Structure 1
Amino acid sequence: MGRRKAYMDDGGDSSDEERGRIHFDITEEDLEEERQGFSGVRKRKMFDDSSDDEATPKGGLGSGGWKTGGTTLFEPAKKSSTPEPQKVASPKRKNAFASASSSKPEPGFAGFSKHTTGFGQKMLEKMGWAAGKGLGAGGEGIINPVETKLRPKGMGMGFKGFDERTAQAKAEAKKQSTMRGDDSDQDQDQSEGDSGDSDDSGHKKKPGKAVKREAWKATAKKARKPKVVYKTANDILSEIIEKAPEAQQKVIDMTGPTIREVSLADIRTSDSPTFMETTTRLPELRHNIRLLVDLARGDLENLSREKQANVFRLQELDKELVDIQKNMERDTSQKKRVEEIKNIGVQLERISRDSMATGAYASGNITSLFGEYFEILETKYMDEVKSLGLDSMVVAVWAPILKYKCVHWDVLDEPTWGVDDVQRWRKLLRSNDDRDEFGDLIASKGVNLATPYETMMNTIWLTKVRSAINNRWNVRQPEPLIILLEAWKPLLPRFIFENIINQLLLPKITTAVSDWDPRNDPEMIHSWIHPWLPILEPWRLAEIFTNIRQKLSVVLRQWHPSDESALHIIIPWKQVWTASQMEMFLTKCILPKLTQVLRTEFVVDPQDQKIEPLVWCLAWKDMFSTTIIGQLLEHEFFPMWLNMLYNWLTQPRDQVNYDEVGEWYLWWKAVFEEFGLCSHKTVSQCFRKGLDMMFMAGNGQPVIPPSF
């Protein structure tokens, strides 16, 4: 073989796998020898071993004919002016055969030697073939044989742009593209013409460097080079901002030799590199350019994010600026209001000092002295009164006057003094009992610190009231203190009111009840206890009520129902004590006495009836429940009454005056009707039994005795 020159590939047609591989140049002599090898021309005999100089062909339609013993069996086909197409872009295969059958056969095609027996021809004729027609039953097959183009020995597919197509295939492709109106093959032929004519081995006939061709690639049409359009940084930033949500989403790219992470924005703006792109020319340069592009894109994305963050920050700063301006305006307005409040405080101090000097404070009228400025505070500066604690300023000018007046104040004679002033300016006198707009106590963190108003009332006002209650107040004259507490209850702090009740009033009332003697005391206890009910409420006096019931129980042990004073003492407590307490007390102390009177002192006598014991018992009917009073009459009175009626009616008929019986019956009904018991269920049933007995006796029937 010819001389070969080794060289290192510098990347002209290299790949990542071929980097550093040694290649060799192929000369014209090498290609010629390889063509002879591919065409079957060898310096050896096929049938005659004695001839070493003549080349005996191996045979085949495309190798110049098949010879046997020097005789040619088939004549070689000549090149057709219309080559057989390699590919036909037709939707149906039948059209391809139709185009092949429409071509004219080459001269001498399918000709057989006159020295040979037409074995092949005879076989084809038996199958319906005729010379000059295409193969197949309908003649739609090919007429000319398929041309072949041999590749030089050792040459790979598409090596250095070697064209695999034959002239026949090129001509047929050009014909088919002309029929479709497609210029792709014409462009390709044009490009081939521009690159220079090539021989069958794929090398140019003209001297010069071979032009690289990539015939093995399916490039139907040479793409026109697109116009380069450059993007500015602002355009890229706009696209990144628009696709910011997508840019954050990462995708794992496994199409290349290595795994890498890309974003959706990268995939949509530019195609992801494929395996072929990573294995083409200049991989280092492409890699470096890609790195530079990625770095530039990253910088642009960072700048975009920074710009967006700065925009958001600017918006926040604008909002903060607006808030600061509002706060500044509010602070300026607040400062102005504080200056006005300061002037009001100076005026109040001046009035207080002048009143002390002139003696005007002796009247103790707060409204006449400070009403003008208090009115301004209440109407215009109520928010500052809560936030700045201006109630201390109000108390500061109020307390000296209250202290002076309390020295000369008679609590029992003037219990309502000062109520009008405190009630008028109560909004300026804050207390822990007051609720703010959030429903929370004024005192913070659960620690109730006394307000100025609470301190003033506890140290000045309460001191005077405590002295009056302990030293001068009579428990049996509750009216002055009742008036005092009724007037001051809604104005006083809660702890001061509870202090008066628990520490001053209740202990003194409890002591008075303990000293009370129901037998000898001419004054009814309810007359000086019940007035306290609206102020103290029954639950506060429960212990006192228990003490009163115990004292009454002891006295009632010696009591007789004929003494009506007990009824007058107990009746006022019916609405004060609970129903269960009253019923238990009457059942234990009163009911046994009434039962004993009816059993021992009352007798039913139609001739000389004494009704007083029954009247003593019926006087308590409103104190007992209807059930208890009904049981008392059913078990104690009506058995005697019905027995008397039965004995009267069972006497001989000539001795019974039924008119007197009827009058006696009606008289008793009138007695019970006078006490309002005639409609009582038990009373009605008992009178019904007496009426039935009278009816049976009047009709001469035997009278049935009453049963209980």
Structure 2
Amino acid sequence: MMAKMGYKEGQGLGKQGEGIVNPIEVKLRPQGAGVGAVKEKTEQYKAEQRRKAEAKGEEYEDSSEEERKARKKRAERKKEERTAGTHAGRRKTKYRTVEDVRAAAPGLELPKAMLGSIVDATGGSTKLLTSTAGLMTPTLVPAESEADKIAKRERLELEAFIEAWHGLQERKIVVEEQQGHLQMDINQADDDIKKMREMLDAVEALNIANIDWGQAMEKLGKLQQDFRHDIDSYNLSEAAVATIAPLFKADLDDWDPLETPSYRLVEHLTHLKPILGLEKTTSALATSNPDVEPEQRRYRKQKTTTPYESLIYGVWLPKMRSTVTRWDVHDATSLIIVVNAWRPLLPAFVYSNLLDQQIVPKLSDALSTWNPRKRRHHHKSSANDAPHVWLFPWLPLLPSYHLDPKASTGLLVDAKRKFRRVLDTCDISSILPGLGAWKQLFGTKDFDATMLRHILPRLSAHLSNTFDIDPADQDISPLEHVFLWLPFFPPAIFGRLLIAEFFPKLHVVLHQWLTSPEASFEEIGTWFTWWKSVIPELLLGLSNVQAEFDKAIVTINEALTLQEQGKDMAALPAPAAGPARPIVTSAAATAAATAPSRAQDPQKEDLTFKDFVEEWCTEHDLTLLPLREAHPATGAPLFRITASVSGKGGVVVFFRGEVLWAQKKKREDGFEPLGLDDGLLLRAEGK
């Protein structure tokens, strides 16, 4: 059948005979053997590949044969490299004559006995070798005689002698270098000894009885200048501090920081900064400065204080503690001058101690008792007691954690919280002192939002409850009180306030006057014109305010028309009843619920923070119960805020200044500051 299809025996399959000739052979791999354990290619496969290559005119190369050839070449190449390296490592200099030896080793004296004992026995007659005749040149002879052996041995001994001489020369160079280094060390030691003696003489000169600041500054200044780079290695800071310590203590005994910041001491210590070690310690700049924070972290890793730091901590800081204790917190300038003068000379931990443990607590206490409605003295204005006078100057000196507006605690957060409380209780008949400074502190956006929540509802209630329009006996003082706050609100807000509280009363009185029998249009016109002069021009330019005045003019014109027609004035349409609401944003309207009750009742204007919390609890159907216990750390009485009728559950709290501290969910975790918000409400309800 295959023959009918064109197949010829001995040729490959396919039309052109390109297929295989012999059947495919199968080569089994032993059981358990992996790939590569046996040769996979069969003889039949190799024969077929060879036949195909010959048909194409190519030379067939078995891959295994190629690999064998490559391995062989690599082995031969490595062998050549090892041989070449071995010969190169063992190659020695070949000297042909004595002159070559002397040229290679200048200064080497060859023993005459060695030269005289070498006999040239390579020729027909024996002779002594000279410097010019083949001492080191081997001669090829058919047989090596005894003389040749002696010459060869002498040549090897001479080569060894030369190599040993080179080794000694190299060793000589090393010894000379070591000798030079040792001499340099000796010279340096001599210089150190000399400098140490000079330093000891200078330090001993400091030990003078009854030394004054002038002598101390002169001697320490010279010591600092002469040994500026050796202060740390010789511990000169200890000697310097020991010298100035008696003088420093004596001056502090007579020093009143609030009278003078002691510029003399500051000047002396500034000149002695290097020798006191101040240049390598933190200068106690504000901790909010990121440039000094790495230095402060470095300082915290120190286990001991320097002599200067011990002097400041043990002598200067107690003096400042007693000063801060008797310091009037409302006189900020006197103490700020002292702190700024000494600030570059204070270690970081001393500066932090002075602020955090002495000054900030006193500022916090004064802030919690700030009440603009009270007078400290009958002859002093409360404007001097406002925080913008005595608190704000301290803010640039405080560390960053007191100035973070997003933190739950800190002097800045307490100040803003107290300011909002004051806005709820202050007398709106006069502007709160320092309101512009508070605006800069809050920022325009936050300040406007605060005023909308806390002051605008009170202004609205003030106009609603205390202001009336009476043409016979007009009192515009409530309106004037409200206009005092105009610079701190957007004009559009005040325009809506007038539309809500002022114009409804104006329209009602105007209608009553026009419909009364004794109405005089001339008097009404004068009265109307006068009211337009009372309103500030800034508000008169608002379209909605002008529309209300136009509405009043339309009412007057309608009354004139009725009079001309001889009709009864009772036909004049009455104005819409009640003021237009709301006048503020939804957020401000929500906050307004906490303020009007206190604004309307003068007896509630001096409420404490605890009273304010009780009002908040009442508004949210909560109970504030005393526990007859005290907080172990502060001694403040504890209370429980709960929604339960039985008085159980809820959250345990205590008051500290204007801050409510609530017990954490895990009692062992202590207390945390908490605001009067939904979070406190949920915890009081046990959720």
- Shorter-chain TM range is 0.3 to 0.5
Identify the structure with the greater helix proportion: 2
TM-score, reference length from structure 1: 0.45
